């Protein structure tokens, strides 16, 4: 049995479901927000069982699992009091965590590995250790240090972790931003939260690298074709931004695989820059990054490769 742990709105999981059904492989898609509408049970002999919409998932039957994007648990409308809501959410989150832990070695990327690998400081240290080129970097909330770092050089600033803010029903993305030369930081602002500062690399293009097991799928994103996307290709709504499947130098491919393995991952979405002199630079790795849009744009067989990897886990 293959498990996909995600949420109802996760379109990326639809690609995996389609590939599993194409291969006639048994699967269970668990949308975590619906957990309180299910019936759950646990015994030391049989482990966890979840029954929802007349489908039963026995976690002891799971042979491979994909931790995609589980959502916040949604309680029934009958749970109204604050203390009651807090109690019920705590109990359901405990159930979910225990069920997740029961199949620790079956995940494509385990939740623990994902959480650990999201550490951007560690990513930069490991990338340097394996001889990736990395921009000169500083993580700080010290305005004096930040002002010295930006003095006389072009720099960018980006969040250390939280790049997506939920403003009621409309999400807000914090993009990477270019700073003026000699940017002076007010202490009362920067001291509130640390940021990442890096020297700006003059780009030829951005490259998104998706690592699945021993397979590497690279995509050039021609971000320099519009003014708005030059610093951060995600900015704006440029649905016509050209994406091209490409082949990386063998040395760069090996470094992408090595970094992913060092982070105890089987899957990783790596952001690189190709500069105007043809040099590759590492920016960061997302241990649970999006990839469906790349499959749509380039026809790279990402969903097929992920299910291949899940089958390898299942047969191990």
What's the pLDDT tens digit per position in 50-77?
999 889 999 999 999 999 999 999 999 8
- The pLDDT assigned to 63 comes to 98
What's the pLDDT tens digit per position in 148-170?
999 878 999 999 986 655 544 55
- The pLDDT assigned to 167 comes to 46
Q: Is 0.85 topped by the overall pTM?
A: yes
CA atoms within 13 A on the CB side of 170: 1
Q: Is the pLDDT of residue 276 over 70?
A: yes
Q: What is the four-CA torsion angle of 139, 176, 211, 254, rounded to 10 degrees?
A: -60
Binning pLDDT at 50, 70 and 90, where does residue 217 land? very high
What's the pLDDT tens digit per position in 129-145?
999 999 999 999 999 99
Q: What are the backbone angles phi and psi of residue 289, rounded to the nearest 5°?
A: -75, 165
């Amino acid at each position: 049995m293959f498990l996909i742990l995600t949420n109802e709105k996760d379109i990326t999981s639809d690609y995996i479901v389609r590939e599993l059904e194409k291969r006639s492989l048994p699967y269970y898609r668990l949308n975590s927000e619906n957990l309180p509408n299910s019936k759950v049970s646990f015994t030391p002999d049989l482990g966890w069982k979840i029954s929802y919409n007349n489908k039963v998932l026995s976690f002891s039957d799971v042979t491979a699992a994909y931790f995609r994007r589980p959502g916040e648990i949604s309680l029934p409308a009958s749970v109204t009091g604050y203390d009651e809501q807090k109690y019920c959410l705590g109990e359901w989150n405990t159930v979910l965590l225990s069920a997740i832990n029961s199949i620790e070695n079956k995940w494509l990327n385990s939740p623990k590995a994902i959480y650990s690998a999201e550490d951007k400081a560690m990513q930069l240290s490991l990338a340097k250790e394996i001889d990736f080129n990395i921009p000169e970097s500083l993580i700080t909330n010290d305005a004096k240090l930040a002002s010295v770092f930006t003095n006389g050089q072009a720099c960018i600033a980006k969040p250390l972790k939280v790049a997506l803010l939920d403003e009621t029903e409309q999400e807000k993305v914090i993009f990477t931003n270019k700073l003026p030369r000699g940017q002076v930081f007010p202490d009362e602002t920067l001291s509130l939260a640390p940021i990442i500062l890096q020297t700006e690399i003059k780009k030829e293009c951005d490259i998104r690298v998706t690592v699945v097991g021993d397979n590497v799928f690279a995509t050039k994103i021609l971000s320099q074709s519009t003014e708005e996307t030059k610093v951060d290709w995600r900015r704006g709504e440029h649905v016509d931004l050209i994406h091209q499947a490409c082949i990386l130098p063998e040395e760069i491919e090996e470094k992408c695989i090595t970094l992913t393995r060092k982070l105890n991952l089987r899957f990783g979405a790596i952001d690189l820059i190709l500069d105007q002199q043809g040099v590759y630079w590492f920016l960061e790795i997302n241990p649970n990054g999006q990839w469906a849009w790349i499959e749509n744009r380039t026809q790279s067989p990402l969903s097929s490769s992920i299910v291949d990897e899940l089958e390898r886990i299942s047969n191990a």
